[in-house]
Amino acid sequence: MKDSDKTKSQLIDELASLRRKVAELERSATGAMSGHELPGGLDERYRTLFEHASDAIIVADSEGNFLDVNRKAEDLLGYGREELLGMRVTDIHPPEELDRVIFHFSGAVAGRTDSLHDTRVLRKDGTAVPVDITGCPVEYQGKVLAQGIFRNIAERKKMEEALRKSEKQLRLLSENLADGMVYQINSGADGRQRSFTYVSPAVERFHGVKVEDVMMDPSLVYDQVDEEYQAAVAESEARSCATMSKFEMDVPFRLPSGDVRWRRLIALPHVHSDGSLMWDGIELDITERREMEEELKAHRDHLSKLVEERTARITQEVARRKEKEEQYLALVESIKEWVWEMNADLVHTYVSPRVREILGYEPQEFIGRTPFDFMAPGEPERVAPLVKKVLSGKEQFASVRTAALHKNGRVVYFEASGRPFFDEKGNFLGYRGSCHDITEQKKTMDALEDRERELTAKSEALGEVNAALKALLRQREEDREELEARLVSNIREMVLPYIHKMQKDKLDLRHRTYLDIVAANLNEIMSPFPNTIKQLNFTPREIEVASLIKEGRTTKEIAEFLGIATSAVDSHRNNIRNKLGLSNKKINLRSYLLSLG
């Protein structure tokens, strides 16, 4: 695992283990070499230990000349053995370190065992390597020599630096966490103690107590847990401790101010190198979230109630419509005419059973076929212009006379009436209507009336239809005018007063701009201005710019509101003036737009 991937606790434990090993090795080497002349028979064992030691070892005389070096010394310094035996203590240290080195070397020659920490040695290639040196005197063949054990601490330094960076990052993170408080708790070896080893400064904002006070007395925080939740918190902690799993719980805290705040506690347990159970945790304020969840639940319950009520009403409406449909079908089947429905291609989609008595066909024989399939010879060509005219205008028609062939081959005369129907978006779907058998009437009329009276009757019938259509059109125009008047009245009396009140409130610039635009657009709805500019073939963006100019907005304000450059606004202004015929005329654009309505 890379040092950057290790946790703070892992780095601390690894560093402590490394320091213990260094101390043990130093004691072992020092005890084996210091204080006495090497007895006969021990040289070979010392040489084995000397050559295979994990640290570099150098033996020097009192003048600092190297007398012996092991293989690790060669690896550490990058010199060969023969090169090192021709060097002195002062040759392998940077100038700035020499005073410290010579002081400790002199101590070893004088009979002291001493350690020099965090110094540096120079390799043959000129690079400096950080080391710890343990120096001790060695008496050999009547001479006092100095032995130095050099421990390469480069990796340890990297670990310490990584640990410092990790601690700094963690501290910055914990101290700048907006809605959270970071903490570490030592629960002791038995997991029952509670003492903070770290708590972020947010504890003062979260619990109204100071960091130093909480470090001395953790109960200042623990006692704020709502009494009804204290047992549950302890039980959940014990469960997480037993399984060494994440602890997570939403808990209400009663603060010294009397306020109750909801917090989410999340902590991970781990065992420290000394056997203590540690908890690394974070406390998040979720009060607003809890309030929103409760409000959402209330809205959801209310919505469910509304859905139930709406469902009940829909069920009643479905039952009512089913009853009406049954009544309608009964009525359709009881009248003398046959009722039909055709789609936009004039293909039958429904025919009432009465067709069986009039034309001899079953209703299902009509489904999927057009009226032309049943007409007498010559009739399709005769009625085709009328059908084309009616379809082009999606018009209603009435008392259109034509002839069809009975299933047994005889001619049946009838009158057809129908009206178009549309979907909710205004798309034409087809026609619905009825056909009335006038065969007997036609025979009587043919016997009693001549061609002229027939034409007169048809002319009168057409006049009545035209009169009915004109009346219908007048009524629709009156309805439209009444609807427009009601819309303008409702906007003026029920909408604009409230917008004017809102405009008097203190709003930021952006919201005030939106409100002004809403008011201006409502006023424009009640004026002919929108229709006027549409007739001038303005683009959507030019309509926006023209509306804002009409409101008195400056070029800069328009650019900021629409999120475009001021040069783009100027370009739109020129286009608007061109379309209004104001180019090269000294006419104020806003005044002209206001004059349009």
**Span 230-265, pLDDT tens digits:** 999 999 998 998 899 999 999 999 999 999 999 999
Whole-number Å distance between alpha carbons of 87 and 64: 9
Tally of domains in the chain = 4
**Is the separation of the CB atoms in 154 and 125 below 8 Å?**
no
Shared-domain flag, residues 45 and 109? yes
**Is the separation of the CB atoms in 589 and 549 below 8 Å?**
yes
Shared-domain flag, residues 18 and 155? yes
**pLDDT for res 42:** 41
In which band, very low, low, confident or very high, does the pLDDT at 492 lie, cut at 50, 70 and 90? low
Averaged pLDDT, 298-321: 89
Shared-domain flag, residues 67 and 154? yes
Specify the pTM: 0.34
> Has residue 441 been placed in a domain?
yes
What share of the chain has pLDDT > 90, as a percent?
35
In which band, very low, low, confident or very high, does the pLDDT at 69 lie, cut at 50, 70 and 90? very high
Domain with 212, as residue range(s), is 177-285
Averaged pLDDT, 310-337: 78
Q: Which among 130, 123, 131 is positioned nearest to 75, based on CA atoms? A: 123
Residue 532 vs residue 189, higher pLDDT: 189
> Has residue 172 been placed in a domain?
no
The two tokens of residue 346 are 């004039």
Indicate whether 199 pLDDT > 50. yes
In which band, very low, low, confident or very high, does the pLDDT at 17 lie, cut at 50, 70 and 90? low
The two tokens of residue 222 are 């623990």
End position of a domain, from candidates 219, 250, 285: 285
Shared-domain flag, residues 181 and 133? no
Q: Which among 403, 460, 411 is positioned nearest to 435, based on CA atoms? A: 403
What are the backbone angles phi and psi of residue 439, rounded to the nearest 5°? -60, -50
Burial of residue 105 (number of CB atoms within 10 Å: 0-12, 13-18, 19+): buried
> Has residue 165 been placed in a domain?
no
Averaged pLDDT, 58-85: 94
Shared-domain flag, residues 11 and 155? yes
Shared-domain flag, residues 392 and 438? yes
> Has residue 468 been placed in a domain?
no
End position of a domain, from candidates 425, 448, 471: 448
Shared-domain flag, residues 437 and 342? yes
Contacts of 575 (CB under 8 A, 6+ apart): 539, 542
Shared-domain flag, residues 15 and 142? yes
In which band, very low, low, confident or very high, does the pLDDT at 13 lie, cut at 50, 70 and 90? low
| Strands (DSSP E) found in 155-236 | 180-186, 195-199
Q: What is the dihedral of CA 151, 157, 159, 164, to 10 degrees?
A: 150
Residues β-bridged to residue 195: 186
> Has residue 460 been placed in a domain?
no
> Has residue 314 been placed in a domain?
no
H or E stretch covering 247: strand 247-254
Averaged pLDDT, 559-582: 90
Shared-domain flag, residues 343 and 214? no
In which band, very low, low, confident or very high, does the pLDDT at 190 lie, cut at 50, 70 and 90? confident
Contacts of 290 (CB under 8 A, 6+ apart): 250, 262
**Is the separation of the CB atoms in 542 and 551 below 8 Å?**
no
What is the maximum alpha-carbon separation in the chain?
164
Shared-domain flag, residues 13 and 119? yes
> Has residue 347 been placed in a domain?
yes
401 in the Ramachandran plot: left (φ > 0), alpha (ψ -120 to 50) or beta? beta
Shared-domain flag, residues 431 and 540? no
Shared-domain flag, residues 425 and 558? no
End position of a domain, from candidates 260, 285, 310: 285
Residue 256: HSE in the Cβ half-sphere, 13 Å Cα cutoff: 11
> Has residue 356 been placed in a domain?
yes
Check which CATH number belongs to the domain holding 67 and give it: 3.30.450.20
Lowest mean pLDDT among 6-10, 177-181, 580-584: 6-10
In which band, very low, low, confident or very high, does the pLDDT at 404 lie, cut at 50, 70 and 90? very high
What are the backbone angles phi and psi of residue 149, rounded to the nearest 5°? -105, 120
Residue 456: HSE in the Cβ half-sphere, 13 Å Cα cutoff: 6
